[in-house]
Amino acid sequence: MSPDLGARIYVMSSYLYYRRASPILEDAQFDKLAKGIVKRWELLDEFRQWQLGNPDDVLATGAFVKVTVAAEQAALAWHKAAKNCLPHGRSIPQDDWRWSPKRLVHWVRADT
């Protein structure tokens, strides 16, 4: 797994665990993910490092990660796919996303 993908999963997992009290990963999986991120910290871009805090924070807790709107929406979609529900009544507005076959990332905000 790439360091950036690991960081993204860490942010989404942290959001679901600490802010929605509805985890996706087991504690052992989360700890292994954190160790992998710290091991390859220097490969992360500055934004990911800022988002995660610092390596010591990553190993200690995910409670303080900075969650973007995109990460929140991705976490909610992941939760819905994994558990067939959204945590604590959260919803993804129906008109927020539309399909775009011309982009590398196919789902884009409807207002773009």
Establish if 105 belongs to a structural domain: no
Establish if 62 belongs to a structural domain: yes
Establish if 91 belongs to a structural domain: no
Establish if 99 belongs to a structural domain: no
- Per-residue model confidence (pLDDT) at position 107: 41
DSSP H or E stretch at residue 98: strand 97-99
Would you give the DSSP letter of residue 17? I
pLDDT tens string for the chain (112 positions)? 899 999 999 999 999 999 888 899 999 999 999 999 999 999 999 999 999 999 999 999 999 999 998 999 999 998 888 877 767 655 555 444 444 444 444 444 444 3
Establish if 81 belongs to a structural domain: yes
Contact 112, 45 (CB under 8 A): no
Establish if 71 belongs to a structural domain: yes
- Per-residue model confidence (pLDDT) at position 92: 52
- DSSP three-state, residue 5: helix
Number of domains in the chain: 1
Q: Has this prediction a pTM greater than 0.85?
A: no
Contact 11, 48 (CB under 8 A): no
Establish if 111 belongs to a structural domain: no
Farthest-apart Cα atoms in the chain, separation: 41
Domain range for residue 19? 3-85
- Per-residue model confidence (pLDDT) at position 81: 86
Establish if 44 belongs to a structural domain: yes
